[in-house]
Amino acid sequence: IPFFIYAGTLMEHSGISKCLIDWIRGIIGRVRGSLGIICILASMAFGVLTGSAMATISAIGKMMSPEMDKEGYPRGYTSALLAATCFLGILIPPSVPGIMYALASGAKISEVWMSTIGPAFIFAAGYFIINYVRIGRHQTKPEKLDIHFADRAKEIGRSTIYAVPALLMPIIIYGSIYGGLCTVTEAGAVSCVYGILYFFALRLIDRSRIKVTFWKCCAIAGASTATIGLLNAFSAVAGKVMTLAGISNFLSTLITENIASKAGFLLMINLLFLFMGTFMDINATILIMTPLLLPVAQTYGITPVHFGAILIVNMCVGFLTPPFAVGIFVSTKIANSTFGETVREAVPFMGVGLLAIMVTTLCPGYVDFFIRLFS
């Protein structure tokens, strides 16, 4: 966890978000509602580097919000889109909550990571449709520009060259893990070394792109790691207390005696996790609830990886769901919107979230497909 957090912090403060946005803009071209599409894809791409919802909404939001404001996007919609896309950084690996769940459940980290890729694609596809219906179809069709294919290819090639440092990070992480070269922990260490080398190389080449010092990055990463470490420590104590007090056995007995079917259990845990996602931190929920409910889930034939996918997807939707809605509170400040405007615009995005939860819950084969694909 410290390795991935540190590497993501270095990449976040090295101006990598602008390179990603320029690269995606160059590929998409001039289409209606293009800025909304760029925001969605950039959040997914940046999630590969950081694995953090807050880092994603901060880096991408500060870049995209002024541009979307200039294009006439309603501020409430911009705020809602940022809140809806920020947690894609959790669903696209490497993911810190995925590591936390693997630690709590004993599941394989790489399988937990892959289990949330399918739901991430559902979110992205639904967001594309919403963006077109809400914004794209109301915009005038851009005039055709007489640009030769060679010039277009040259433009894409130039933006790709600048984006290479960002694109190399996932290649290093996934290539080393799934190529059998190293473990997940070792891949985190390698990505950390790469982040340090990139940071100092960029500082030598173009110091103006570095907005914070190296030691400031260390402090930011250290604070984030300490927060997760404290959550881990206290949740372990809370879990031990619950076990000694008989709460886990009581909960297991209560569920098995009152819920007679797998369908009823799945409905119960979805409602529970969705509710908890609106109030609690995702990592704390994972560490507290996994030891309590996973053994019961396994009695119904639910695998630990499938259970983890359900838990993480539900908690991600909680970033967007009032009353707590961490994503909305942050995005309203970035986009200079109000809470009410953002919530109204976020309703369709919540609908996509419910669809993603249903597919993740009812179609374990869809979740397993991506695990088998990279196994």
> In sequence order, which residues have a C-beta less than 8 Å from that of residue 258 and are 6 or more positions away?
none
At residue 142, the pLDDT reads 61
Q: Is the pLDDT of residue 13 over 90?
A: no
Neighbouring CB atoms inside 10 A of 204's CB total 7
pLDDT-based confidence at residue 195 (cuts at 50, 70, 90) = confident
The mean pLDDT value of the chain amounts to 82
The segment with the largest mean pLDDT, out of 231-235, 295-299, 319-323, 370-374, is 295-299
CA 281/CA 259 separation, integer angstroms: 27
> What mean pLDDT do residues 243-268 have?
77
* Cis amide linkage into residue 74, ω under 30° from 0: no
CB of 79 within 8 A of CB of 73? no
At residue 266, the pLDDT reads 92
Closest-CA residue to 116 (of 98, 101, 96): 98
- Widest distance between CA atoms in the chain: 73
Q: Is the pLDDT of residue 14 over 90?
A: no
> What mean pLDDT do residues 200-209 have?
81
CA 208/CA 362 separation, integer angstroms: 50
At residue 243, the pLDDT reads 66
pTM of structure: 0.79
> What mean pLDDT do residues 187-211 have?
82
Q: Is the pLDDT of residue 232 over 80?
A: no
Token pair recorded at residue 351? 């609908």
CA 141/CA 7 separation, integer angstroms: 41
pLDDT tens digit string along 158-194?
777 777 877 777 777 777 777 778 877 788 888 888 8
> What mean pLDDT do residues 214-218 have?
88
* Cis amide linkage into residue 323, ω under 30° from 0: yes
> What mean pLDDT do residues 27-32 have?
72
Neighbouring CB atoms inside 10 A of 255's CB total 19
Q: Is the pLDDT of residue 146 over 60?
A: no
CB of 83 within 8 A of CB of 336? no
At residue 63, the pLDDT reads 78
Name the residue with tokens 């060679």. 150
CA 151/CA 335 separation, integer angstroms: 35
CA 374/CA 208 separation, integer angstroms: 39
Q: Is the pLDDT of residue 77 over 80?
A: yes
At residue 125, the pLDDT reads 94
Q: Is the pLDDT of residue 206 over 70?
A: yes
pLDDT tens digit string along 39-66?
898 888 777 777 677 777 877 887 788 8
Q: Is the pLDDT of residue 16 over 80?
A: no
pLDDT-based confidence at residue 358 (cuts at 50, 70, 90) = very high
CB of 15 within 8 A of CB of 209? yes
Interior/surface letters 123-161, b for 16+ CB within 10 angstroms, e for the rest: bbebbbebbbebbbeebeeeeeeeeeeeeeeeeeeebee
Question: No. of H helices and E strands in the chain?
Answer: 19, 0
> What mean pLDDT do residues 322-333 have?
81
CA 319/CA 329 separation, integer angstroms: 9
Q: Is the pLDDT of residue 145 over 60?
A: no
